[in-house]
A and B are shown apart, each in its own frame.
Chain A
Protein backbone atom coordinates (compact mmCIF):
# COMPACT_ATOMS: atom_id res chain seq x y z
CA UNK A 1 0.00 0.00 0.00
CA UNK A 2 0.96 3.63 -0.40
CA UNK A 3 2.02 4.03 3.21
CA UNK A 4 4.87 1.58 2.63
CA UNK A 5 6.61 4.44 0.88
CA UNK A 6 8.29 7.12 2.96
CA UNK A 7 6.32 10.29 3.42
CA UNK A 8 6.98 13.32 1.24
CA UNK A 9 9.00 15.98 3.04
CA UNK A 10 7.34 18.91 4.72
CA UNK A 11 7.31 21.92 2.39
CA UNK A 12 8.44 24.64 4.77
CA UNK A 13 7.60 27.32 2.20
CA UNK A 14 3.92 26.66 2.94
CA UNK A 15 4.11 26.60 6.74
CA UNK A 16 4.13 29.31 9.41
CA UNK A 17 7.23 29.76 11.60
CA UNK A 18 7.36 28.70 15.24
CA UNK A 19 8.24 32.23 16.30
CA UNK A 20 5.98 34.92 14.84
CA UNK A 21 6.13 38.17 16.82
CA UNK A 22 2.68 39.44 15.78
CA UNK A 23 1.13 36.36 17.43
CA UNK A 24 2.44 37.12 20.90
CA UNK A 25 1.96 33.70 22.49
CA UNK A 26 4.60 32.24 20.18
CA UNK A 27 7.33 34.22 21.96
CA UNK A 28 7.54 31.89 24.96
CA UNK A 29 6.17 28.72 23.39
CA UNK A 30 7.74 28.21 19.99
CA UNK A 31 10.90 26.09 19.84
CA UNK A 32 13.95 28.30 19.26
CA UNK A 33 16.54 25.76 18.20
CA UNK A 34 16.73 24.19 14.75
CA UNK A 35 14.75 20.98 14.31
CA UNK A 36 16.89 17.87 14.00
CA UNK A 37 16.27 15.70 10.96
CA UNK A 38 14.88 12.28 11.80
CA UNK A 39 15.67 9.26 9.69
CA UNK A 40 12.88 7.98 7.47
CA UNK A 41 11.96 5.02 9.68
CA UNK A 42 9.57 7.11 11.71
CA UNK A 43 8.12 8.74 8.63
CA UNK A 44 6.92 5.37 7.36
CA UNK A 45 4.77 4.50 10.31
CA UNK A 46 1.05 4.67 9.92
CA UNK A 47 -1.40 6.94 11.64
CA UNK A 48 -3.56 5.71 14.54
CA UNK A 49 -6.14 3.01 13.95
CA UNK A 50 -9.86 3.81 13.90
CA UNK A 51 -12.85 2.92 11.79
CA UNK A 52 -16.32 3.93 10.69
CA UNK A 53 -17.71 2.17 13.77
CA UNK A 54 -16.05 4.85 15.92
CA UNK A 55 -18.08 7.59 14.25
CA UNK A 56 -21.59 8.32 15.53
CA UNK A 57 -24.45 8.80 13.07
CA UNK A 58 -24.74 12.52 13.89
CA UNK A 59 -21.08 13.27 14.51
CA UNK A 60 -20.83 15.15 11.18
CA UNK A 61 -24.00 17.20 11.84
CA UNK A 62 -23.27 19.93 14.38
CA UNK A 63 -26.81 21.28 13.96
CA UNK A 64 -28.17 18.07 15.52
CA UNK A 65 -25.43 16.36 17.52
CA UNK A 66 -25.94 18.36 20.74
CA UNK A 67 -29.56 19.52 20.71
CA UNK A 68 -31.32 19.82 24.08
CA UNK A 69 -34.61 21.64 23.59
CA UNK A 70 -34.60 23.03 20.05
CA UNK A 71 -32.25 23.80 17.21
CA UNK A 72 -29.11 25.94 17.28
CA UNK A 73 -29.39 29.59 16.28
CA UNK A 74 -27.41 31.00 13.38
CA UNK A 75 -26.75 30.61 9.71
CA UNK A 76 -26.85 26.96 8.62
CA UNK A 77 -23.90 26.00 6.40
CA UNK A 78 -22.52 22.92 4.69
CA UNK A 79 -18.73 22.60 4.67
CA UNK A 80 -17.49 20.04 2.20
CA UNK A 81 -14.38 19.27 0.21
CA UNK A 82 -11.64 16.75 -0.39
CA UNK A 83 -8.48 15.71 1.39
CA UNK A 84 -5.67 15.15 -1.10
CA UNK A 85 -1.94 14.76 -1.24
CA UNK A 86 0.34 17.06 -3.23
CA UNK A 87 -0.13 14.92 -6.33
CA UNK A 88 -3.90 15.22 -6.11
CA UNK A 89 -4.44 11.69 -4.85
CA UNK A 90 -7.26 11.34 -2.31
CA UNK A 91 -6.62 10.61 1.37
CA UNK A 92 -9.33 7.99 1.77
CA UNK A 93 -10.99 7.03 5.05
CA UNK A 94 -9.03 9.55 7.07
CA UNK A 95 -10.38 11.15 10.24
CA UNK A 96 -11.35 14.83 10.30
CA UNK A 97 -12.21 16.41 13.64
CA UNK A 98 -13.58 19.97 13.78
CA UNK A 99 -14.48 22.44 16.54
CA UNK A 100 -15.70 26.01 16.42
CA UNK A 101 -17.46 28.89 18.19
CA UNK A 102 -21.23 29.24 17.99
CA UNK A 103 -23.00 31.88 15.89
CA UNK A 104 -22.43 34.48 18.61
CA UNK A 105 -18.67 33.86 18.69
CA UNK A 106 -18.68 31.91 21.96
CA UNK A 107 -16.85 28.64 22.52
CA UNK A 108 -18.31 26.01 24.80
CA UNK A 109 -14.85 25.63 26.35
CA UNK A 110 -15.01 26.42 30.07
CA UNK A 111 -12.14 28.90 29.96
CA UNK A 112 -13.71 31.07 27.25
CA UNK A 113 -14.59 34.30 29.07
CA UNK A 114 -16.09 36.14 26.09
CA UNK A 115 -19.38 37.70 27.17
CA UNK A 116 -21.49 36.30 24.36
CA UNK A 117 -24.32 33.80 24.82
CA UNK A 118 -23.88 30.05 24.81
CA UNK A 119 -26.37 28.14 22.70
CA UNK A 120 -27.99 25.29 24.63
CA UNK A 121 -28.40 23.35 21.40
CA UNK A 122 -24.90 23.71 20.02
CA UNK A 123 -21.65 22.10 21.17
CA UNK A 124 -19.54 23.01 18.14
CA UNK A 125 -17.62 19.74 17.81
CA UNK A 126 -17.87 17.16 15.04
CA UNK A 127 -15.97 14.52 13.12
CA UNK A 128 -16.20 12.27 10.10
CA UNK A 129 -14.10 10.02 7.88
CA UNK A 130 -13.38 10.92 4.29
CA UNK A 131 -14.81 8.55 1.69
CA UNK A 132 -12.78 6.59 -0.86
CA UNK A 133 -12.36 9.75 -2.95
CA UNK A 134 -11.16 11.78 0.03
CA UNK A 135 -14.45 13.69 0.25
CA UNK A 136 -16.02 14.87 3.51
CA UNK A 137 -19.12 16.83 4.47
CA UNK A 138 -20.17 18.65 7.65
CA UNK A 139 -23.43 20.43 8.41
CA UNK A 140 -22.98 23.21 10.96
CA UNK A 141 -23.68 26.82 11.94
CA UNK A 142 -21.48 29.65 10.69
CA UNK A 143 -19.21 30.59 13.60
CA UNK A 144 -19.10 34.18 14.82
CA UNK A 145 -16.03 36.37 15.24
CA UNK A 146 -14.73 36.80 18.77
CA UNK A 147 -12.30 39.08 20.59
CA UNK A 148 -8.91 37.92 21.84
CA UNK A 149 -6.21 39.45 23.98
CA UNK A 150 -3.31 39.32 21.51
CA UNK A 151 -3.50 43.04 20.75
CA UNK A 152 -5.86 45.92 21.59
CA UNK A 153 -9.41 45.26 20.37
CA UNK A 154 -8.23 42.26 18.39
CA UNK A 155 -10.89 40.04 16.80
CA UNK A 156 -10.40 36.64 15.21
CA UNK A 157 -12.04 36.16 11.81
CA UNK A 158 -14.79 33.55 11.59
CA UNK A 159 -13.11 30.17 11.45
CA UNK A 160 -13.50 26.45 11.99
CA UNK A 161 -10.66 24.41 13.50
CA UNK A 162 -9.68 21.26 11.58
CA UNK A 163 -7.61 18.29 12.81
CA UNK A 164 -6.53 15.52 10.42
CA UNK A 165 -4.26 12.49 10.49
CA UNK A 166 -3.72 11.28 6.93
CA UNK A 167 -1.86 8.06 6.22
CA UNK A 168 1.24 8.70 8.31
CA UNK A 169 2.10 9.77 11.83
CA UNK A 170 3.93 12.70 10.22
CA UNK A 171 1.05 13.74 7.94
CA UNK A 172 -0.74 15.16 10.99
CA UNK A 173 -2.31 18.55 10.33
CA UNK A 174 -4.10 20.96 12.65
CA UNK A 175 -5.36 24.06 10.89
CA UNK A 176 -8.20 26.55 10.55
CA UNK A 177 -10.69 27.18 7.76
CA UNK A 178 -11.74 30.76 7.05
CA UNK A 179 -14.57 32.32 5.05
CA UNK A 180 -14.25 34.26 1.79
CA UNK A 181 -14.42 38.03 1.90
CA UNK A 182 -13.87 38.35 5.65
CA UNK A 183 -12.32 41.80 6.31
CA UNK A 184 -10.78 40.51 9.54
CA UNK A 185 -8.42 38.22 7.59
CA UNK A 186 -6.16 41.14 6.67
CA UNK A 187 -5.84 41.98 10.39
CA UNK A 188 -5.38 38.46 11.80
CA UNK A 189 -1.83 37.53 12.85
CA UNK A 190 -2.65 33.81 12.89
CA UNK A 191 -3.90 33.80 9.29
CA UNK A 192 -1.06 36.11 8.24
CA UNK A 193 1.52 33.80 9.83
CA UNK A 194 1.09 31.42 6.89
CA UNK A 195 3.32 32.41 3.96
CA UNK A 196 1.69 34.70 1.43
CA UNK A 197 1.71 32.14 -1.37
CA UNK A 198 -0.02 29.52 0.77
CA UNK A 199 -2.40 31.27 3.12
CA UNK A 200 -5.12 31.71 0.48
CA UNK A 201 -5.65 27.95 0.61
CA UNK A 202 -7.04 28.38 4.14
CA UNK A 203 -10.01 30.35 2.80
CA UNK A 204 -13.04 28.32 1.77
CA UNK A 205 -15.00 29.01 -1.42
CA UNK A 206 -18.69 29.82 -1.56
CA UNK A 207 -20.43 27.18 -3.68
CA UNK A 208 -24.21 27.32 -3.55
CA UNK A 209 -24.41 23.92 -5.21
CA UNK A 210 -22.25 22.26 -2.57
CA UNK A 211 -25.06 22.14 -0.03
CA UNK A 212 -27.18 19.76 -2.10
CA UNK A 213 -30.78 20.59 -1.28
CA UNK A 214 -31.63 24.16 -2.53
CA UNK A 215 -32.80 26.72 0.00
CA UNK A 216 -31.51 24.83 3.03
CA UNK A 217 -27.97 25.99 3.79
CA UNK A 218 -25.12 27.99 2.30
CA UNK A 219 -22.37 25.79 0.89
CA UNK A 220 -18.66 26.27 1.40
CA UNK A 221 -15.94 24.17 -0.21
CA UNK A 222 -12.62 23.62 1.51
CA UNK A 223 -9.96 21.21 0.22
CA UNK A 224 -7.00 20.17 2.35
CA UNK A 225 -3.62 18.91 1.16
CA UNK A 226 -1.64 16.59 3.41
CA UNK A 227 1.79 15.10 2.98
CA UNK A 228 1.44 11.81 1.11
CA UNK A 229 3.78 9.15 -0.26
CA UNK A 230 6.98 10.63 -1.63
CA UNK A 231 7.03 10.25 -5.39
CA UNK A 232 9.80 11.04 -7.78
CA UNK A 233 8.92 13.05 -10.90
CA UNK A 234 8.85 9.90 -13.06
CA UNK A 235 6.21 8.32 -10.82
CA UNK A 236 3.97 11.37 -10.60
Chain B
Protein backbone atom coordinates (compact mmCIF):
# COMPACT_ATOMS: atom_id res chain seq x y z
CA UNK B 1 0.00 0.00 0.00
CA UNK B 2 1.07 3.58 -0.53
CA UNK B 3 2.81 5.14 2.42
CA UNK B 4 0.95 7.74 4.41
CA UNK B 5 2.45 11.22 4.54
CA UNK B 6 4.34 12.15 7.71
CA UNK B 7 2.33 14.94 9.29
CA UNK B 8 4.12 18.26 8.81
CA UNK B 9 5.49 19.96 11.89
CA UNK B 10 4.25 23.44 12.79
CA UNK B 11 5.64 25.89 15.30
CA UNK B 12 4.91 25.44 18.99
CA UNK B 13 4.15 29.17 19.01
CA UNK B 14 4.47 31.63 21.88
CA UNK B 15 1.60 30.33 24.02
CA UNK B 16 2.52 26.74 24.82
CA UNK B 17 3.16 27.32 28.52
CA UNK B 18 -0.26 26.53 29.98
CA UNK B 19 -0.48 23.36 27.90
CA UNK B 20 3.03 21.90 28.05
CA UNK B 21 4.76 23.50 31.07
CA UNK B 22 1.77 24.49 33.18
CA UNK B 23 3.13 23.99 36.69
CA UNK B 24 6.42 25.75 35.96
CA UNK B 25 4.50 28.80 34.70
CA UNK B 26 1.94 28.77 37.49
CA UNK B 27 -1.16 27.55 35.66
CA UNK B 28 -3.70 25.38 37.45
CA UNK B 29 -3.16 22.26 35.34
CA UNK B 30 -1.02 19.29 36.30
CA UNK B 31 2.24 18.85 34.37
CA UNK B 32 3.31 15.40 33.25
CA UNK B 33 6.91 16.57 32.76
CA UNK B 34 8.91 19.31 34.44
CA UNK B 35 12.44 20.46 35.21
CA UNK B 36 13.05 17.80 37.87
CA UNK B 37 14.21 14.43 36.52
CA UNK B 38 15.78 13.11 39.71
CA UNK B 39 14.26 13.04 43.18
CA UNK B 40 16.72 13.26 46.09
CA UNK B 41 16.78 9.48 46.55
CA UNK B 42 17.86 8.78 42.95
CA UNK B 43 21.27 7.11 42.61
CA UNK B 44 24.17 9.04 41.18
CA UNK B 45 25.78 12.47 41.23
CA UNK B 46 23.04 15.07 41.43
CA UNK B 47 23.60 17.97 39.09
CA UNK B 48 21.79 21.03 37.82
CA UNK B 49 21.88 21.63 34.09
CA UNK B 50 21.38 25.28 33.28
CA UNK B 51 21.67 27.61 30.32
CA UNK B 52 20.05 29.93 27.86
CA UNK B 53 18.96 29.81 24.22
CA UNK B 54 20.26 32.68 22.09
CA UNK B 55 18.86 33.94 18.78
CA UNK B 56 20.90 35.17 15.81
CA UNK B 57 21.35 38.58 17.43
CA UNK B 58 22.69 37.05 20.64
CA UNK B 59 19.51 37.87 22.54
CA UNK B 60 18.33 35.25 25.06
CA UNK B 61 15.01 33.77 23.94
CA UNK B 62 12.16 33.95 26.46
CA UNK B 63 9.73 31.57 24.78
CA UNK B 64 11.77 28.47 23.99
CA UNK B 65 11.10 25.02 25.42
CA UNK B 66 13.67 22.30 26.00
CA UNK B 67 13.02 18.63 26.48
CA UNK B 68 15.79 16.33 27.61
CA UNK B 69 16.13 12.56 27.72
CA UNK B 70 18.96 10.67 29.35
CA UNK B 71 19.93 7.38 30.94
CA UNK B 72 20.46 7.06 34.67
CA UNK B 73 23.81 7.22 36.46
CA UNK B 74 24.59 3.65 35.32
CA UNK B 75 23.74 4.32 31.70
CA UNK B 76 20.35 2.59 31.69
CA UNK B 77 17.28 4.17 30.08
CA UNK B 78 14.15 4.09 32.20
CA UNK B 79 11.95 1.32 30.81
CA UNK B 80 8.64 1.93 32.54
CA UNK B 81 6.68 4.36 34.65
CA UNK B 82 6.78 1.92 37.59
CA UNK B 83 10.58 1.81 37.37
CA UNK B 84 10.72 5.61 37.43
CA UNK B 85 8.51 5.80 40.50
CA UNK B 86 10.61 3.19 42.31
CA UNK B 87 13.99 4.75 41.54
CA UNK B 88 13.08 8.44 41.78
CA UNK B 89 14.53 9.03 38.33
CA UNK B 90 12.22 9.52 35.35
CA UNK B 91 14.75 10.15 32.56
CA UNK B 92 12.76 12.89 30.80
CA UNK B 93 12.33 16.58 31.56
CA UNK B 94 10.77 19.69 30.10
CA UNK B 95 11.48 23.35 30.87
CA UNK B 96 10.55 26.67 29.27
CA UNK B 97 12.79 29.74 29.24
CA UNK B 98 10.05 32.20 30.22
CA UNK B 99 9.88 32.04 34.01
CA UNK B 100 13.22 33.55 35.01
CA UNK B 101 14.10 37.17 34.23
CA UNK B 102 17.49 35.95 33.00
CA UNK B 103 15.76 33.56 30.52
CA UNK B 104 17.57 30.50 31.87
CA UNK B 105 16.23 26.99 31.58
CA UNK B 106 17.27 24.46 34.20
CA UNK B 107 17.00 20.77 34.97
CA UNK B 108 17.67 18.98 38.24
CA UNK B 109 18.96 15.56 37.34
CA UNK B 110 21.82 13.12 37.82
CA UNK B 111 24.87 12.90 35.65
CA UNK B 112 24.21 10.09 33.19
CA UNK B 113 26.43 7.10 32.73
CA UNK B 114 27.54 6.05 29.25
CA UNK B 115 24.64 4.34 27.47
CA UNK B 116 26.94 1.84 25.76
CA UNK B 117 30.62 0.87 25.92
CA UNK B 118 32.75 3.35 24.01
CA UNK B 119 30.17 6.14 24.18
CA UNK B 120 30.62 9.26 26.25
CA UNK B 121 27.91 10.20 28.74
CA UNK B 122 25.43 12.56 27.14
CA UNK B 123 21.93 13.97 27.27
CA UNK B 124 19.63 14.19 24.25
CA UNK B 125 17.86 17.50 23.70
CA UNK B 126 14.84 18.71 21.76
CA UNK B 127 14.54 22.49 21.50
CA UNK B 128 11.57 24.31 20.05
CA UNK B 129 10.13 27.81 20.15
CA UNK B 130 8.11 30.45 18.36
CA UNK B 131 10.04 30.95 15.14
CA UNK B 132 11.02 27.33 14.58
CA UNK B 133 8.62 25.48 12.31
CA UNK B 134 10.25 22.20 13.29
CA UNK B 135 11.99 21.36 16.58
CA UNK B 136 15.75 20.77 16.56
CA UNK B 137 17.75 17.93 18.12
CA UNK B 138 21.07 18.37 19.85
CA UNK B 139 23.17 16.67 22.51
CA UNK B 140 24.89 17.69 25.72
CA UNK B 141 28.30 16.21 26.58
CA UNK B 142 30.36 17.01 29.70
CA UNK B 143 33.67 18.88 29.83
CA UNK B 144 35.06 16.64 32.60
CA UNK B 145 34.76 13.58 30.33
CA UNK B 146 37.57 14.53 27.99
CA UNK B 147 38.88 11.00 27.37
CA UNK B 148 35.42 9.57 26.76
CA UNK B 149 34.49 12.51 24.55
CA UNK B 150 37.62 11.95 22.48
CA UNK B 151 36.50 8.37 21.76
CA UNK B 152 32.78 9.05 21.30
CA UNK B 153 31.57 7.93 17.85
CA UNK B 154 29.00 10.69 17.50
CA UNK B 155 31.34 13.51 18.52
CA UNK B 156 33.80 12.09 16.02
CA UNK B 157 31.35 12.94 13.23
CA UNK B 158 31.25 16.59 14.32
CA UNK B 159 33.86 18.92 12.82
CA UNK B 160 36.46 19.56 15.54
CA UNK B 161 35.92 23.32 15.52
CA UNK B 162 32.21 22.89 16.31
CA UNK B 163 32.44 20.21 19.02
CA UNK B 164 32.64 22.75 21.83
CA UNK B 165 29.04 23.77 21.10
CA UNK B 166 27.97 20.36 22.44
CA UNK B 167 29.97 20.38 25.67
CA UNK B 168 28.60 21.64 29.00
CA UNK B 169 30.92 23.38 31.48
CA UNK B 170 31.14 21.97 35.00
CA UNK B 171 30.83 24.47 37.85
CA UNK B 172 31.22 23.49 41.49
CA UNK B 173 29.48 25.87 43.85
CA UNK B 174 28.47 25.75 47.52
CA UNK B 175 24.94 24.73 46.45
CA UNK B 176 26.17 21.79 44.41
CA UNK B 177 27.43 20.85 40.98
CA UNK B 178 25.99 22.49 37.91
CA UNK B 179 26.74 22.26 34.22
CA UNK B 180 26.33 25.29 32.00
CA UNK B 181 25.04 24.64 28.49
CA UNK B 182 23.93 27.49 26.23
CA UNK B 183 22.34 26.95 22.84
CA UNK B 184 22.93 29.32 19.95
CA UNK B 185 20.41 28.97 17.13
CA UNK B 186 22.61 30.91 14.69
CA UNK B 187 25.92 32.72 14.40
CA UNK B 188 29.60 31.75 14.37
CA UNK B 189 29.08 29.49 17.39
CA UNK B 190 25.79 28.02 16.17
CA UNK B 191 25.03 24.87 18.13
CA UNK B 192 25.38 21.63 16.20
CA UNK B 193 21.92 20.23 15.46
CA UNK B 194 21.36 16.68 14.31
CA UNK B 195 19.17 14.92 11.80
CA UNK B 196 17.95 11.74 13.42
Question: Which residues of chain A have a CB within 8 Å of any CB of chain B?
Answer: 7, 10-11, 14-18, 20, 23, 25-33, 35-39, 41-43, 45-46, 48-51, 53-54, 56, 65-66, 84-88, 95, 97-99, 101, 107-112, 123-125, 127, 161, 163, 169-170, 172-176, 190-191, 193-195, 197-199, 201-202, 224-227, 236
Question: What distance in Å separates the Cβ of A104 from its nearest Cβ neighbour in chain B?
Answer: 14
Contact B55 A36 (CB under 8 A): no
Contacts of B79 in A (CB 8 A): 46, 49
Q: Does the CB pair B133–A190 fall under 8 Å? A: yes
Nearest Cβ on chain B to A171's Cβ, whole angstroms: 10
Contact B5 A201 (CB under 8 A): yes
Q: Can you pick out 21 interface pairs between chain A and chain B where the beta carbons lie within 8 Å of each other?
A: A16-B8, A28-B55, A29-B61, A30-B133, A30-B185, A31-B193, A32-B56, A39-B157, A41-B116, A48-B91, A65-B29, A66-B29, A99-B18, A107-B15, A109-B15, A110-B25, A111-B98, A170-B137, A190-B10, A199-B8, A201-B7
B194 touches A36 (CB 8 A): yes
Cβ distance B30 to chain A, nearest Cβ, rounded Å: 7
A163 and B20 form a contact (CB under 8 A): yes
A26→B185 CA distance, assembly (Å): 10
Chain A residues with CB under 8 A of B115: 41
List of 4 A-B pairs having minimum Cβ-Cβ separation, nearest first: A99-B19, A25-B131, A29-B131, A48-B92
* Minimal beta-carbon separation of B135 from chain A (angstroms): 6
**Chain B residues touching A, majority SS:** loop
B78 and A27 contacting across the interface, CB-CB below 8 Å: no
Q: What residue in chain A is nearest B33 (Cβ atoms)?
A: A48
B41 at the interface (CB under 8 A from A): no
Q: Judge whether B69 and A36 touch: CB under 8 Å.
A: no
**Residue contact A35 to B133, C-beta cutoff 8 Å:** no
Write the nearest CB–CB distance from B190 to chain A, whole angstroms: 6
Q: Does B177 contact A (CB under 8 A)?
A: no
- In the complex where A15-B6, A32-B186, A45-B77 touch, is A170 in contact with B196 (Cβ < 8 A)? yes
